[in-house]
Structure 1
Protein backbone atom coordinates (compact mmCIF):
# COMPACT_ATOMS: atom_id res chain seq x y z
CA UNK A 1 0.00 0.00 0.00
CA UNK A 2 1.14 3.55 -0.70
CA UNK A 3 2.27 6.11 1.87
CA UNK A 4 -0.96 8.07 1.47
CA UNK A 5 -3.02 4.88 1.68
CA UNK A 6 -1.61 3.90 5.08
CA UNK A 7 -2.24 7.37 6.49
CA UNK A 8 -5.84 7.53 5.29
CA UNK A 9 -6.60 3.93 6.29
CA UNK A 10 -5.20 4.44 9.78
CA UNK A 11 -7.28 7.59 10.12
CA UNK A 12 -10.40 5.73 8.96
CA UNK A 13 -9.84 2.98 11.53
CA UNK A 14 -9.26 5.50 14.32
CA UNK A 15 -12.39 7.37 13.25
CA UNK A 16 -14.49 4.20 13.18
CA UNK A 17 -13.28 3.10 16.61
CA UNK A 18 -13.89 6.52 18.16
CA UNK A 19 -17.27 6.96 16.41
CA UNK A 20 -18.65 3.71 17.81
CA UNK A 21 -17.82 4.86 21.32
CA UNK A 22 -18.98 8.38 20.53
CA UNK A 23 -22.51 7.30 19.61
CA UNK A 24 -23.02 5.83 23.08
CA UNK A 25 -21.44 8.87 24.75
CA UNK A 26 -23.58 11.35 22.82
CA UNK A 27 -26.81 9.43 23.46
CA UNK A 28 -25.97 9.22 27.16
CA UNK A 29 -25.27 12.98 27.22
CA UNK A 30 -21.68 12.27 28.24
CA UNK A 31 -19.92 13.70 25.20
CA UNK A 32 -17.58 15.97 27.15
CA UNK A 33 -16.37 13.13 29.35
CA UNK A 34 -14.48 11.96 26.25
CA UNK A 35 -12.62 15.28 26.23
CA UNK A 36 -11.75 14.87 29.90
CA UNK A 37 -10.59 11.27 29.50
CA UNK A 38 -8.62 12.05 26.32
CA UNK A 39 -6.57 14.54 28.33
CA UNK A 40 -6.40 12.89 31.75
CA UNK A 41 -5.01 9.65 30.31
CA UNK A 42 -1.74 11.58 30.07
CA UNK A 43 -1.60 11.19 33.85
CA UNK A 44 -2.07 7.45 33.36
CA UNK A 45 0.71 7.29 30.78
CA UNK A 46 3.30 9.07 32.89
CA UNK A 47 2.23 7.15 36.03
CA UNK A 48 2.66 3.84 34.22
CA UNK A 49 6.12 4.90 33.07
CA UNK A 50 7.17 6.03 36.55
CA UNK A 51 6.03 2.73 38.07
CA UNK A 52 7.47 0.37 35.44
CA UNK A 53 10.23 2.51 33.81
CA UNK A 54 9.11 1.25 30.40
CA UNK A 55 7.11 2.58 27.47
CA UNK A 56 5.66 -0.82 26.66
CA UNK A 57 2.33 -0.50 24.81
CA UNK A 58 0.45 -2.84 27.16
CA UNK A 59 1.69 -0.93 30.21
CA UNK A 60 0.61 2.35 28.63
CA UNK A 61 -2.84 0.91 27.91
CA UNK A 62 -3.27 -0.25 31.50
CA UNK A 63 -2.18 3.13 32.83
CA UNK A 64 -4.55 4.95 30.48
CA UNK A 65 -7.46 2.68 31.38
CA UNK A 66 -6.86 3.23 35.10
CA UNK A 67 -6.67 7.00 34.59
CA UNK A 68 -9.90 6.94 32.60
CA UNK A 69 -11.69 4.96 35.27
CA UNK A 70 -10.30 7.22 37.99
CA UNK A 71 -11.56 10.25 36.07
CA UNK A 72 -15.02 8.73 35.82
CA UNK A 73 -15.12 7.80 39.50
CA UNK A 74 -14.03 11.27 40.63
CA UNK A 75 -16.55 12.97 38.33
CA UNK A 76 -19.29 10.71 39.67
CA UNK A 77 -18.32 11.42 43.28
CA UNK A 78 -18.36 15.17 42.65
CA UNK A 79 -21.77 14.93 40.98
CA UNK A 80 -23.12 12.90 43.89
CA UNK A 81 -21.90 15.60 46.25
CA UNK A 82 -24.13 18.14 44.49
CA UNK A 83 -21.72 19.66 41.97
CA UNK A 84 -23.09 20.19 38.47
CA UNK A 85 -22.00 17.75 35.76
CA UNK A 86 -20.07 20.23 33.64
CA UNK A 87 -18.32 21.69 36.68
CA UNK A 88 -17.37 18.20 37.93
CA UNK A 89 -15.87 17.33 34.55
CA UNK A 90 -14.04 20.68 34.38
CA UNK A 91 -12.50 20.34 37.84
CA UNK A 92 -11.39 16.74 37.29
CA UNK A 93 -10.12 17.39 33.77
CA UNK A 94 -7.94 20.37 34.68
CA UNK A 95 -6.60 18.86 37.90
CA UNK A 96 -5.58 15.50 36.40
CA UNK A 97 -4.25 16.98 33.18
CA UNK A 98 -2.18 19.56 35.05
CA UNK A 99 -0.81 16.85 37.35
CA UNK A 100 0.15 14.75 34.32
CA UNK A 101 1.96 17.70 32.71
CA UNK A 102 3.77 18.41 35.98
CA UNK A 103 4.95 14.79 36.32
CA UNK A 104 6.13 14.68 32.71
CA UNK A 105 8.10 17.91 32.99
CA UNK A 106 9.52 16.97 36.38
CA UNK A 107 10.30 13.25 36.11
CA UNK A 108 9.95 12.21 32.46
CA UNK A 109 11.36 15.12 30.52
CA UNK A 110 13.98 13.00 28.75
CA UNK A 111 11.69 10.26 27.48
CA UNK A 112 9.19 10.09 24.62
CA UNK A 113 6.22 11.45 26.55
CA UNK A 114 5.69 14.80 24.91
CA UNK A 115 2.45 16.65 25.81
CA UNK A 116 2.17 18.47 22.48
CA UNK A 117 2.67 15.22 20.58
CA UNK A 118 -0.02 13.52 22.67
CA UNK A 119 -2.45 16.35 22.01
CA UNK A 120 -1.81 16.95 18.30
CA UNK A 121 -0.32 13.64 17.14
CA UNK A 122 1.49 13.25 13.84
CA UNK A 123 -0.28 10.89 11.50
CA UNK A 124 2.18 11.73 8.71
CA UNK A 125 4.80 9.52 10.42
CA UNK A 126 2.51 6.49 10.80
CA UNK A 127 3.89 4.59 7.75
CA UNK A 128 7.50 4.78 8.99
CA UNK A 129 7.07 2.72 12.19
CA UNK A 130 6.34 -0.78 10.93
CA UNK A 131 5.93 -4.27 12.32
CA UNK A 132 5.79 -7.60 10.53
CA UNK A 133 2.80 -9.89 11.04
CA UNK A 134 2.49 -13.20 9.16
CA UNK A 135 5.17 -12.02 6.78
CA UNK A 136 3.36 -8.76 6.00
CA UNK A 137 4.93 -5.42 6.92
CA UNK A 138 2.46 -2.83 8.18
CA UNK A 139 2.51 0.33 10.32
CA UNK A 140 2.51 -0.36 14.05
CA UNK A 141 -0.25 2.17 14.74
CA UNK A 142 -2.42 0.62 12.03
CA UNK A 143 -2.18 -2.78 13.74
CA UNK A 144 -2.79 -1.23 17.16
CA UNK A 145 -5.94 0.68 16.20
CA UNK A 146 -7.22 -2.31 14.19
CA UNK A 147 -7.14 -4.48 17.32
CA UNK A 148 -8.87 -1.80 19.39
CA UNK A 149 -11.56 -1.32 16.72
CA UNK A 150 -12.17 -5.08 16.60
CA UNK A 151 -12.49 -5.23 20.40
CA UNK A 152 -14.92 -2.30 20.44
CA UNK A 153 -17.07 -3.92 17.76
CA UNK A 154 -17.12 -7.26 19.58
CA UNK A 155 -18.03 -5.73 22.96
CA UNK A 156 -20.76 -3.53 21.49
CA UNK A 157 -22.18 -6.45 19.49
CA UNK A 158 -22.19 -8.85 22.45
CA UNK A 159 -23.87 -6.33 24.77
CA UNK A 160 -25.96 -4.54 22.14
CA UNK A 161 -29.34 -5.04 23.86
CA UNK A 162 -27.90 -4.03 27.22
CA UNK A 163 -26.29 -0.91 25.73
CA UNK A 164 -29.55 0.02 24.00
CA UNK A 165 -31.79 -0.34 27.07
CA UNK A 166 -29.38 1.30 29.52
CA UNK A 167 -28.77 4.19 27.10
CA UNK A 168 -32.37 5.06 26.25
CA UNK A 169 -34.07 4.06 29.52
CA UNK A 170 -31.69 3.63 32.50
CA UNK A 171 -34.64 3.21 34.88
CA UNK A 172 -35.98 0.27 32.88
CA UNK A 173 -32.49 -1.22 32.71
CA UNK A 174 -32.20 -1.11 36.51
CA UNK A 175 -35.66 -2.66 36.96
CA UNK A 176 -34.70 -5.46 34.55
CA UNK A 177 -31.61 -6.20 36.62
CA UNK A 178 -29.11 -5.14 33.97
CA UNK A 179 -25.60 -4.26 35.24
CA UNK A 180 -25.94 -0.53 34.58
CA UNK A 181 -22.93 0.47 36.68
CA UNK A 182 -20.78 -2.19 35.01
CA UNK A 183 -21.83 -0.98 31.55
CA UNK A 184 -21.04 2.60 32.53
CA UNK A 185 -17.52 1.86 33.70
CA UNK A 186 -16.94 -0.55 30.81
CA UNK A 187 -17.78 2.30 28.42
CA UNK A 188 -15.35 4.58 30.24
CA UNK A 189 -12.64 1.92 29.99
CA UNK A 190 -13.31 1.51 26.27
CA UNK A 191 -13.11 5.28 25.88
CA UNK A 192 -9.74 5.37 27.65
CA UNK A 193 -8.26 2.49 25.67
CA UNK A 194 -9.55 3.89 22.37
CA UNK A 195 -8.12 7.32 23.17
CA UNK A 196 -4.65 6.12 24.12
CA UNK A 197 -4.45 3.74 21.15
CA UNK A 198 -4.89 6.76 18.89
CA UNK A 199 -2.61 9.23 20.70
CA UNK A 200 0.61 8.42 18.88
CA UNK A 201 -0.95 8.65 15.44
CA UNK A 202 -3.66 11.34 15.51
CA UNK A 203 -3.43 12.97 18.96
CA UNK A 204 -6.07 13.77 21.57
CA UNK A 205 -7.63 16.67 19.65
CA UNK A 206 -8.65 14.50 16.70
CA UNK A 207 -9.71 11.70 19.07
CA UNK A 208 -12.17 14.07 20.75
CA UNK A 209 -13.38 15.31 17.35
CA UNK A 210 -13.97 11.75 16.14
CA UNK A 211 -15.74 10.75 19.34
CA UNK A 212 -18.18 13.66 19.39
CA UNK A 213 -18.73 15.28 16.00
CA UNK A 214 -19.56 12.30 13.70
CA UNK A 215 -21.96 10.91 16.31
CA UNK A 216 -23.59 14.32 16.72
CA UNK A 217 -23.90 14.59 12.93
CA UNK A 218 -25.44 11.12 12.73
CA UNK A 219 -27.94 12.10 15.44
CA UNK A 220 -29.22 14.87 13.18
CA UNK A 221 -29.96 12.36 10.42
CA UNK A 222 -31.49 9.44 12.32
CA UNK A 223 -32.78 8.29 15.70
CA UNK A 224 -32.20 4.57 15.07
CA UNK A 225 -29.18 3.22 16.94
CA UNK A 226 -27.84 0.89 14.19
CA UNK A 227 -28.11 3.69 11.65
CA UNK A 228 -26.34 6.07 14.03
CA UNK A 229 -23.41 3.67 14.29
CA UNK A 230 -23.25 3.35 10.50
CA UNK A 231 -23.63 7.06 9.74
CA UNK A 232 -21.03 8.10 12.30
CA UNK A 233 -18.48 5.71 10.78
CA UNK A 234 -19.25 7.00 7.28
CA UNK A 235 -18.92 10.63 8.41
CA UNK A 236 -15.60 9.99 10.16
CA UNK A 237 -14.25 8.17 7.10
CA UNK A 238 -15.35 11.05 4.85
CA UNK A 239 -13.56 13.44 7.22
CA UNK A 240 -10.35 11.41 6.89
CA UNK A 241 -10.39 11.39 3.09
CA UNK A 242 -11.36 15.03 2.66
CA UNK A 243 -9.15 16.17 5.54
CA UNK A 244 -6.06 14.48 4.16
CA UNK A 245 -6.38 16.01 0.69
CA UNK A 246 -7.28 19.40 2.15
CA UNK A 247 -4.13 19.24 4.29
CA UNK A 248 -2.11 18.27 1.22
CA UNK A 249 -3.60 21.13 -0.79
CA UNK A 250 -3.09 23.84 1.83
CA UNK A 251 0.06 22.36 3.43
CA UNK A 252 -1.36 22.22 6.96
CA UNK A 253 -1.58 19.64 9.77
CA UNK A 254 -3.28 16.44 8.63
CA UNK A 255 -4.88 15.73 12.01
CA UNK A 256 -6.03 19.32 12.31
CA UNK A 257 -7.47 19.26 8.80
CA UNK A 258 -9.37 16.03 9.52
CA UNK A 259 -10.79 17.57 12.70
CA UNK A 260 -11.90 20.62 10.71
CA UNK A 261 -13.66 18.40 8.17
CA UNK A 262 -15.67 16.72 10.92
CA UNK A 263 -16.94 20.21 11.73
CA UNK A 264 -17.74 20.89 8.07
CA UNK A 265 -19.75 17.67 7.84
CA UNK A 266 -21.60 18.59 11.03
CA UNK A 267 -22.40 22.03 9.61
CA UNK A 268 -23.78 20.47 6.43
CA UNK A 269 -25.83 18.04 8.50
CA UNK A 270 -27.08 20.86 10.70
CA UNK A 271 -28.27 22.75 7.63
CA UNK A 272 -29.89 19.99 5.57
CA UNK A 273 -30.30 16.87 7.74
CA UNK A 274 -33.81 15.42 7.57
CA UNK A 275 -36.59 17.33 9.30
CA UNK A 276 -34.24 19.06 11.74
CA UNK A 277 -32.08 20.78 9.12
CA UNK A 278 -32.25 24.57 9.09
CA UNK A 279 -32.60 24.85 5.32
CA UNK A 280 -35.00 21.94 4.99
CA UNK A 281 -37.11 23.31 7.85
CA UNK A 282 -37.19 26.72 6.16
CA UNK A 283 -38.11 25.21 2.78
CA UNK A 284 -40.80 23.06 4.37
CA UNK A 285 -42.27 26.10 6.12
CA UNK A 286 -42.29 28.05 2.86
CA UNK A 287 -43.96 25.11 1.12
CA UNK A 288 -46.60 24.87 3.84
CA UNK A 289 -47.24 28.61 3.67
CA UNK A 290 -47.54 28.35 -0.12
CA UNK A 291 -49.98 25.46 0.15
CA UNK A 292 -51.98 27.37 2.77
CA UNK A 293 -52.03 30.45 0.53
CA UNK A 294 -53.23 28.38 -2.42
CA UNK A 295 -55.93 26.80 -0.27
CA UNK A 296 -57.07 30.17 1.09
CA UNK A 297 -57.04 31.65 -2.40
CA UNK A 298 -59.12 28.77 -3.73
CA UNK A 299 -61.60 29.14 -0.89
CA UNK A 300 -61.84 32.90 -1.47
CA UNK A 301 -62.33 32.38 -5.21
CA UNK A 302 -65.11 29.87 -4.55
CA UNK A 303 -66.84 32.33 -2.23
CA UNK A 304 -66.62 35.07 -4.85
CA UNK A 305 -68.02 32.77 -7.53
CA UNK A 306 -70.92 31.76 -5.29
CA UNK A 307 -71.65 35.43 -4.53
CA UNK A 308 -71.65 36.30 -8.25
CA UNK A 309 -74.04 33.45 -8.99
CA UNK A 310 -76.31 34.62 -6.22
Structure 2
Protein backbone atom coordinates (compact mmCIF):
# COMPACT_ATOMS: atom_id res chain seq x y z
CA UNK A 1 0.00 0.00 0.00
CA UNK A 2 2.72 2.45 1.00
CA UNK A 3 4.81 1.54 -2.05
CA UNK A 4 1.92 2.23 -4.43
CA UNK A 5 1.10 5.54 -2.76
CA UNK A 6 4.71 6.70 -2.88
CA UNK A 7 5.48 5.52 -6.41
CA UNK A 8 4.41 8.75 -8.20
CA UNK A 9 6.28 10.83 -5.62
CA UNK A 10 9.43 8.75 -6.02
CA UNK A 11 9.21 8.89 -9.81
CA UNK A 12 8.85 12.67 -9.85
CA UNK A 13 11.55 13.10 -7.24
CA UNK A 14 13.89 10.90 -9.26
CA UNK A 15 13.52 13.12 -12.31
CA UNK A 16 14.32 16.22 -10.26
CA UNK A 17 17.36 14.59 -8.66
CA UNK A 18 18.74 13.40 -11.98
CA UNK A 19 18.36 16.83 -13.52
CA UNK A 20 20.16 18.28 -10.50
CA UNK A 21 23.13 15.89 -10.85
CA UNK A 22 22.67 14.76 -7.29
CA UNK A 23 25.26 12.01 -7.71
CA UNK A 24 27.95 14.67 -8.01
CA UNK A 25 28.96 14.76 -4.37
CA UNK A 26 32.12 14.59 -2.29
CA UNK A 27 31.50 12.51 0.83
CA UNK A 28 33.74 13.45 3.74
CA UNK A 29 35.35 10.83 5.99
CA UNK A 30 33.62 8.02 4.12
CA UNK A 31 35.31 4.69 4.81
CA UNK A 32 32.96 2.76 2.48
CA UNK A 33 31.37 0.98 5.44
CA UNK A 34 27.86 0.99 6.86
CA UNK A 35 28.60 3.33 9.77
CA UNK A 36 31.09 6.19 9.80
CA UNK A 37 32.13 7.51 13.21
CA UNK A 38 33.09 11.19 13.07
CA UNK A 39 35.15 13.21 15.54
CA UNK A 40 33.27 16.04 17.24
CA UNK A 41 34.83 18.74 15.08
CA UNK A 42 34.66 22.41 16.02
CA UNK A 43 32.69 24.92 13.96
CA UNK A 44 35.98 26.51 12.87
CA UNK A 45 37.37 23.18 11.66
CA UNK A 46 34.15 22.41 9.77
CA UNK A 47 34.24 25.81 8.08
CA UNK A 48 37.82 25.24 6.96
CA UNK A 49 37.13 21.72 5.67
CA UNK A 50 34.08 22.96 3.77
CA UNK A 51 35.97 25.87 2.23
CA UNK A 52 38.84 23.66 1.05
CA UNK A 53 36.49 21.08 -0.46
CA UNK A 54 34.33 23.69 -2.21
CA UNK A 55 37.44 25.19 -3.80
CA UNK A 56 38.66 21.76 -4.90
CA UNK A 57 35.24 20.51 -6.11
CA UNK A 58 33.17 23.55 -7.15
CA UNK A 59 30.57 21.49 -9.03
CA UNK A 60 29.96 18.92 -6.29
CA UNK A 61 27.87 18.94 -3.15
CA UNK A 62 29.81 18.34 0.07
CA UNK A 63 28.22 15.61 2.19
CA UNK A 64 28.79 13.90 5.52
CA UNK A 65 27.12 10.53 6.13
CA UNK A 66 26.23 9.05 9.51
CA UNK A 67 25.74 12.38 11.31
CA UNK A 68 23.98 12.07 14.66
CA UNK A 69 23.63 14.12 17.82
CA UNK A 70 24.41 11.40 20.33
CA UNK A 71 26.85 13.05 22.75
CA UNK A 72 27.85 15.37 19.92
CA UNK A 73 27.14 18.88 18.70
CA UNK A 74 28.19 17.97 15.17
CA UNK A 75 24.68 18.35 13.64
CA UNK A 76 24.26 21.86 15.06
CA UNK A 77 27.74 22.91 13.99
CA UNK A 78 27.18 21.61 10.46
CA UNK A 79 23.84 23.42 10.28
CA UNK A 80 25.51 26.62 11.48
CA UNK A 81 27.98 26.24 8.61
CA UNK A 82 25.18 26.16 6.03
CA UNK A 83 24.58 22.42 5.76
CA UNK A 84 21.16 20.85 5.29
CA UNK A 85 20.45 17.89 7.58
CA UNK A 86 18.55 15.24 5.63
CA UNK A 87 17.23 12.28 7.67
CA UNK A 88 18.93 9.11 6.45
CA UNK A 89 17.93 6.31 8.81
CA UNK A 90 16.94 5.39 12.33
CA UNK A 91 19.90 3.95 14.24
CA UNK A 92 20.43 2.44 17.66
CA UNK A 93 22.88 3.10 20.47
CA UNK A 94 23.59 0.96 23.51
CA UNK A 95 24.69 2.95 26.58
CA UNK A 96 27.13 0.90 28.64
CA UNK A 97 27.82 3.08 31.68
CA UNK A 98 27.20 1.16 34.93
CA UNK A 99 26.26 -1.88 32.79
CA UNK A 100 22.65 -0.74 32.61
CA UNK A 101 22.13 -3.14 29.69
CA UNK A 102 22.18 -5.98 32.23
CA UNK A 103 18.78 -4.84 33.48
CA UNK A 104 17.29 -6.33 30.31
CA UNK A 105 16.21 -9.95 30.54
CA UNK A 106 17.24 -10.84 26.99
CA UNK A 107 20.77 -9.59 27.64
CA UNK A 108 21.04 -11.70 30.78
CA UNK A 109 19.86 -14.71 28.80
CA UNK A 110 22.58 -14.04 26.21
CA UNK A 111 25.16 -13.77 28.98
CA UNK A 112 24.02 -17.09 30.42
CA UNK A 113 24.32 -18.63 26.96
CA UNK A 114 27.92 -17.44 26.71
CA UNK A 115 28.79 -18.70 30.19
CA UNK A 116 27.26 -22.04 29.25
CA UNK A 117 29.42 -22.41 26.14
CA UNK A 118 32.51 -21.39 28.11
CA UNK A 119 31.75 -24.11 30.66
CA UNK A 120 31.59 -26.71 27.88
CA UNK A 121 35.06 -28.12 27.07
CA UNK A 122 33.95 -28.32 23.43
CA UNK A 123 32.13 -24.98 23.44
CA UNK A 124 32.89 -21.69 21.74
CA UNK A 125 35.82 -19.48 22.65
CA UNK A 126 36.56 -15.83 21.87
CA UNK A 127 39.91 -14.86 20.36
CA UNK A 128 41.25 -11.42 19.43
CA UNK A 129 44.13 -11.88 16.96
CA UNK A 130 46.34 -8.87 16.22
CA UNK A 131 46.73 -10.06 12.64
CA UNK A 132 44.87 -12.51 10.42
CA UNK A 133 46.18 -15.47 8.45
CA UNK A 134 45.15 -16.06 4.84
CA UNK A 135 42.98 -18.96 5.99
CA UNK A 136 41.24 -16.80 8.58
CA UNK A 137 40.59 -14.05 6.03
CA UNK A 138 39.01 -16.52 3.63
CA UNK A 139 36.72 -17.82 6.37
CA UNK A 140 35.79 -14.30 7.51
CA UNK A 141 34.92 -13.38 3.92
CA UNK A 142 32.73 -16.47 3.74
CA UNK A 143 30.92 -15.66 7.00
CA UNK A 144 30.39 -12.03 5.95
CA UNK A 145 28.99 -13.18 2.59
CA UNK A 146 26.59 -15.62 4.27
CA UNK A 147 25.05 -12.89 6.41
CA UNK A 148 25.30 -9.60 4.55
CA UNK A 149 24.97 -10.81 0.97
CA UNK A 150 23.15 -14.14 0.91
CA UNK A 151 20.78 -13.46 3.82
CA UNK A 152 20.26 -9.71 3.48
CA UNK A 153 21.17 -8.07 0.18
CA UNK A 154 23.63 -8.48 -2.67
CA UNK A 155 23.68 -4.68 -2.79
CA UNK A 156 25.79 -4.70 0.39
CA UNK A 157 29.53 -4.07 -0.08
CA UNK A 158 31.15 -7.24 -1.41
CA UNK A 159 34.41 -7.34 0.51
CA UNK A 160 37.09 -9.81 -0.52
CA UNK A 161 39.46 -11.66 1.82
CA UNK A 162 42.21 -9.13 1.07
CA UNK A 163 40.03 -6.40 2.61
CA UNK A 164 39.98 -8.19 5.95
CA UNK A 165 43.72 -8.83 5.85
CA UNK A 166 44.46 -5.19 5.11
CA UNK A 167 42.08 -3.72 7.70
CA UNK A 168 43.56 -5.99 10.38
CA UNK A 169 47.16 -5.27 9.37
CA UNK A 170 46.69 -1.49 9.28
CA UNK A 171 44.65 -1.40 12.48
CA UNK A 172 41.59 0.06 10.77
CA UNK A 173 39.52 -2.68 12.41
CA UNK A 174 40.13 -4.95 15.37
CA UNK A 175 38.73 -8.45 14.97
CA UNK A 176 37.05 -10.81 17.41
CA UNK A 177 36.60 -14.43 16.38
CA UNK A 178 34.15 -16.89 17.90
CA UNK A 179 35.68 -20.32 17.36
CA UNK A 180 34.99 -23.93 18.20
CA UNK A 181 37.21 -26.92 17.49
CA UNK A 182 39.57 -24.75 15.48
CA UNK A 183 36.86 -23.37 13.18
CA UNK A 184 35.65 -19.76 13.06
CA UNK A 185 31.86 -19.69 13.15
CA UNK A 186 31.33 -15.96 13.82
CA UNK A 187 33.33 -12.77 13.38
CA UNK A 188 33.23 -9.15 14.55
CA UNK A 189 35.25 -6.33 13.00
CA UNK A 190 35.02 -3.11 15.01
CA UNK A 191 36.58 0.31 15.41
CA UNK A 192 36.19 3.25 17.79
CA UNK A 193 35.97 7.03 17.58
CA UNK A 194 34.58 9.82 19.78
CA UNK A 195 33.09 7.78 22.63
CA UNK A 196 31.53 5.18 20.35
CA UNK A 197 32.28 1.67 19.12
CA UNK A 198 30.86 0.45 15.81
CA UNK A 199 31.10 -3.02 14.29
CA UNK A 200 30.52 -2.65 10.53
CA UNK A 201 31.87 -6.16 9.95
CA UNK A 202 29.95 -9.07 11.38
CA UNK A 203 29.22 -12.50 10.02
CA UNK A 204 28.34 -15.98 11.14
CA UNK A 205 27.74 -19.41 9.68
CA UNK A 206 24.06 -19.24 8.78
CA UNK A 207 24.03 -22.94 7.89
CA UNK A 208 24.39 -23.85 11.57
CA UNK A 209 21.34 -24.28 13.83
CA UNK A 210 19.83 -21.03 15.06
CA UNK A 211 19.65 -22.55 18.54
CA UNK A 212 23.42 -22.12 18.87
CA UNK A 213 22.78 -18.39 19.28
CA UNK A 214 25.71 -17.14 17.22
CA UNK A 215 24.15 -13.75 16.52
CA UNK A 216 23.31 -13.40 20.20
CA UNK A 217 26.95 -14.11 21.02
CA UNK A 218 28.08 -11.48 18.50
CA UNK A 219 25.80 -8.84 20.00
CA UNK A 220 26.94 -9.74 23.51
CA UNK A 221 30.64 -9.47 22.65
CA UNK A 222 30.17 -6.09 20.94
CA UNK A 223 28.44 -4.69 24.03
CA UNK A 224 30.97 -6.17 26.45
CA UNK A 225 33.89 -4.85 24.40
CA UNK A 226 32.39 -1.36 24.37
CA UNK A 227 31.79 -1.49 28.13
CA UNK A 228 35.39 -2.56 28.77
CA UNK A 229 36.57 0.48 26.80
CA UNK A 230 34.14 2.91 28.41
CA UNK A 231 32.30 3.49 25.12
CA UNK A 232 28.73 3.39 23.84
CA UNK A 233 27.81 0.99 21.06
CA UNK A 234 26.71 2.49 17.76
CA UNK A 235 24.54 -0.48 16.83
CA UNK A 236 23.68 0.81 13.34
CA UNK A 237 20.21 -0.13 12.03
CA UNK A 238 18.32 -3.37 11.49
CA UNK A 239 16.75 -5.95 13.86
CA UNK A 240 15.62 -3.01 15.99
CA UNK A 241 13.35 -5.00 18.32
CA UNK A 242 16.18 -7.45 19.05
CA UNK A 243 18.55 -4.62 19.94
CA UNK A 244 16.01 -2.63 21.94
CA UNK A 245 15.27 -5.67 24.09
CA UNK A 246 18.96 -5.58 25.02
CA UNK A 247 19.15 -1.91 25.95
CA UNK A 248 19.46 -0.07 22.63
CA UNK A 249 18.02 3.44 22.23
CA UNK A 250 16.87 5.06 18.98
CA UNK A 251 18.41 8.12 17.33
CA UNK A 252 17.96 9.65 13.88
CA UNK A 253 21.04 9.74 11.67
CA UNK A 254 21.40 12.38 8.98
CA UNK A 255 23.28 13.08 5.80
CA UNK A 256 24.55 16.65 6.06
CA UNK A 257 24.80 18.38 2.67
CA UNK A 258 26.41 21.68 1.72
CA UNK A 259 25.08 22.95 -1.61
CA UNK A 260 25.21 26.75 -1.34
CA UNK A 261 27.96 27.04 -3.96
CA UNK A 262 26.13 24.99 -6.60
CA UNK A 263 23.95 26.02 -9.51
CA UNK A 264 20.30 26.89 -8.98
CA UNK A 265 19.27 23.58 -10.59
CA UNK A 266 21.48 21.57 -8.23
CA UNK A 267 20.38 23.51 -5.16
CA UNK A 268 16.74 22.95 -6.12
CA UNK A 269 17.34 19.20 -6.30
CA UNK A 270 18.88 19.08 -2.83
CA UNK A 271 16.22 21.33 -1.29
CA UNK A 272 13.48 19.19 -2.85
CA UNK A 273 15.02 16.01 -1.47
CA UNK A 274 15.36 17.65 1.93
CA UNK A 275 11.72 18.79 1.96
CA UNK A 276 10.31 15.44 0.81
CA UNK A 277 12.30 13.32 3.25
CA UNK A 278 11.65 15.62 6.20
CA UNK A 279 7.93 15.49 5.44
CA UNK A 280 7.61 11.70 5.13
CA UNK A 281 10.37 10.36 7.39
CA UNK A 282 8.60 10.92 10.74
CA UNK A 283 5.47 9.16 9.47
CA UNK A 284 7.40 6.18 8.11
CA UNK A 285 9.50 5.84 11.26
CA UNK A 286 6.36 5.89 13.42
CA UNK A 287 4.37 3.62 11.09
CA UNK A 288 7.00 0.91 10.83
CA UNK A 289 8.51 1.41 14.30
CA UNK A 290 11.94 1.95 12.78
TM-score w.r.t. the length of structure 1 is 0.22
Q: As a proportion of its length, which structure holds more helix?
A: 1
Structure showing greater relative contact order (alpha-carbon pairs closer than 8 Å, 6 or more residues apart): 2
Q: Report which of the two structures shows the higher radius of gyration computed on alpha carbons.
A: 1
TM-score w.r.t. the length of structure 2 is 0.23
Q: As a proportion of its length, which structure holds more strand?
A: 2
